[in-house]
Structures are given as structure tokens and as C-alpha cells.
Structure 1
Amino acid sequence: MSATPTVEVPAHVVLVPGFWLGAWAWDDVIAHLSEHHLTALAVTLPGLEADDDDRGSVTLLDHVGAIEAALARAPQGARTVLVAHSGAAVPATVALDRHVDQVEHVVWVDTAPVVDGYAIDPNVTGDEHALSAQYDEELAEGSMEGLTEEQLATFRERAVPQPTSSMREAVSLHDDRRLNVPGTIVCTSFPAAEYRSYAKQGMPFLAGILQYRKLELVDLPTGHWPMWSRPADLAAIIADAAAPPE
């Protein structure tokens, strides 16, 4: 009797956008992932729905819970890849810490895993932080490099204020096994060598680079929003992460 052939289950890719964005931010990347025979689940974190009028009640753990729910939708036997952009690294790191046995690879898009006790801005006030509060600064510093005028207009039109609790609350991490989960840092705003240099100089947001043992840093020169400026290239990097290890 011949053996039953092994059926390979497609990877489960979870896409988490950064500040001001919903699942829609990944549309172009998802289209290119399909060329790699991958489907993906894009997440809109609580408080980032356009019609949400109660962002003041949203907590960091609400964001973590949304990521956990997306991870839980993985088919049996699927290789799970978590993709976090920018500030989404904060709840994504907590979700990884809580589900270290479930996540096979993390792709950190112009960001890095954070360390225990980290908070983006513990002194931020109010219930929400709008894109308009720092748009001019982002534009002046090159964050928007590679984006067309149409993309910039869409960004301004669809951006939703970020619940400030997600910036103010510190993470609490407990499972050091997360440090051994393979990860890819997609370096867009500055080169990989500078990521490591800034981490060694004490930049808090990049401190995790010095702790994690299986990180690969990949250069993808563009601005802070590669899901729009270089979606095909970003999809290819994600597809590489989703491939089973040789």
C-alpha cells in the first residue's frame, strides 16, 4: 500500500499595519502575495476603524487581542508568519511573547521587536493622536519617500487617529523563548548597518535588535511606507519568510 502523500498547508500570514492605518493599507501587498500563492489576513486594530468614536477606551491589550485573534485563525498545520509595520511592533511583540509556540517567523517592517517595559511615548496626553499632528515632520524627514501624490492624498484622507493608550502603555513580556523566533527586519528608512548602530547607541525602539538571536536585516531602500512605495518587493520578502526552512 502506498503512503498517503503529505499535503502542504499554505502559510498563514497575518499583516498588522502601523499608526493611523487599517487593514486596507496592505491591499497592494496582498495582491502581490497572491503571485507567490499566498493569502494573508490583514488586521484593523481596535480604535482604527474610520467610524470609531471611542478611541479613548482602547488599550494596548485590545490591540494585542486583535493580533491574537488573527493568529488563532491559522489552519491546522500552517506555518504562521506575523508581519508588523512601524508602531504595530509593540502589540506584535506582546502577541509573540504570548504565542511563541505558534509563530514561526516575524517580519518587522521598518521597525523592530521591543523590549520589556518599553512604551512609545509614556507622556502623551489625550485620547487620540492624529496624523496631522506630525504629517509635516514626517514629510520633511523623508518618511514619505517613494509615495505618489495620489498615495499621499489617500493616506491623508483615510488616516484615522491613533488611540494614545497604544503609545502610552508599556509592554510586559515573560517568555524569553521569543528571542529565538526567526525574524526579518525590513530596513527601509535607513540601511541595516545603521539599524544595528542606532541600537548599540541606545535608541530605545531598536533595543530588541540586541536581544533577538535569529534576526536577519534586509535592505529595501524607500520611505517608511513600503506597502505602498514598494509593495511587490515587500511581498517577496514576506514570501521568503513564509517558505518552510530548508
Structure 2
Amino acid sequence: MAEIKHGGQKLTSTANGRLRIEEGNNRLISNDGTTDVLLIGDKGDGTITVDLALPGVDVKDADINDLVFSSRFNLYKIIHLGGVSAPTPRNATVTLSGNNIGYVFEILIDLFDNDATQKLTGDLLMNICWDRLKVPIRGSGVFYDDGTNKVNYKWSCGNKFNTQYIFVKYELRLMAGSYSFNPFTSTRVPFRNDLYYQVANMTQDLQSGGGVTGPGDGKFYFKDVIAYYPDGSVKTALASTTEEFINGDWAYFPAAV
């Protein structure tokens, strides 16, 4: 370490001069060998900040658009993260035909460890993906089509608004004919991968709607639901039910994202 004077200010620098403490300016500066690119402390106008400039840009004079990082930015902050090992649906045959036109497998994760006084609120960023590929869970398309029998699918994920849960949901909709399958053993249902999630604040997410009531439609869907704690242990064991669509919702199932 060496102490020198610069412009009447006391400086403490490393041997190669690429890191220095400007005591009179109340800041630390790091140099990339050519340019001062990192500033920690007083920006020069009384603002206390951590700024990292683009290569070749002097951080002391940089416009905020020339910064790759700044504590003055509205930064994402991860508030929850974790995973669930290979959640699986019912091990039984499901037949989509007649008025039984749908199937839903929903995976819930209680982010507050059964503390019902806490809820997910505010603007959130969700990253919910298959752990093996780290690819966000979303998409829709044709699940099965042999020219006579056709089933469409849709993936969705997000948070259940004003609850402690995030969710992953897989929905099937019979479009024509009939179709029988076992969700547990079907190779068309990819439920053998681990789930991984991150929740951060400061931006938007896809929020599921709240509960509603109304007259039944006479059309039904099969539903499997399983809930987990943040550590990946099961909170509520798999429950398999048959639900009735209400308020004409069957015509819009699966709902558009």
C-alpha cells in the first residue's frame, strides 16, 4: 500500500494503482488498467452509490445510461427460491369423453411454510422451470391427435393472487372424440422432472384469478392437486377429484394466458 497526495487529497492505493481509496472524497475507486470503472462511496455530489461503468467509460463522470450496474437502479431482489422433486399425478386411468372434457394437474408450493398470516402481494417476477433444463414452464399445443380423437394441452405457472402459494398447472382439453390415459404412466405427460423456482420483487408476474361461484355447466374436468412446503416436503397429499365447470367457463378452457 502507498499513500500519495492528489489534488490536495490524501489517497491510499495498491502497489499497481488499480485500486485506491480517496479519503477526502469518501470513496473507493477501481481502475481496469486504463479507466476508472468502479466507484463505491460518494459520487461527488453527496450521493452514496455503487457504480460500475461500461469498459472505457470513466465511472466518475459516467451518465447513468453508461453504467452496467448501479445501486441507484431499481434492482430485482430474490425473496423466495427452492424446488420440488418430481411431483406426480394420479396413478389411474382418466377418460375424456362426453361431458368429461378436461384434466388438470396443479402443483402448489406454500412459500410461507404454513404461516397463513403471510401472502404473496405486490409486483413480482416469477421464474418457475424444470430444474434439469432451467426453461420456464409455459406453452400450449396438441397433446394427442389421430385424426378422430384430439386433445390439446396448456402449461401455466405463477402465483395464486393474495395467497401464500405459487403454482404450476397442466391442463388438457378434449377437442374431438374421446381419449383415455393414465397421467402417472403416460409418456406424453412429463411429470418426472424436478421443479425449480425463484420469486423476486419489482416487476410484473402472471397472477391467477380468485375464486368465483355460479351455476354449473353440466361439463366436467378431472383434477389432481398436490401441495408442498418450501423445503420440498409434501404439505397436502395428492387429491384427485372431478370438478364441474361454472358460468360457461368450459368454452374457454384452457383459458388464454
TM-score, normalization: structure 2?
0.20
TM-score, normalization: structure 1?
0.20
Larger RCO, structure (CA 8 Å, separation 6 or more): 1
More strand per residue: 1 or 2?
A: 2
Of structures 1 and 2, the larger Rg is shown by 2
More helix per residue: 1 or 2?
A: 1
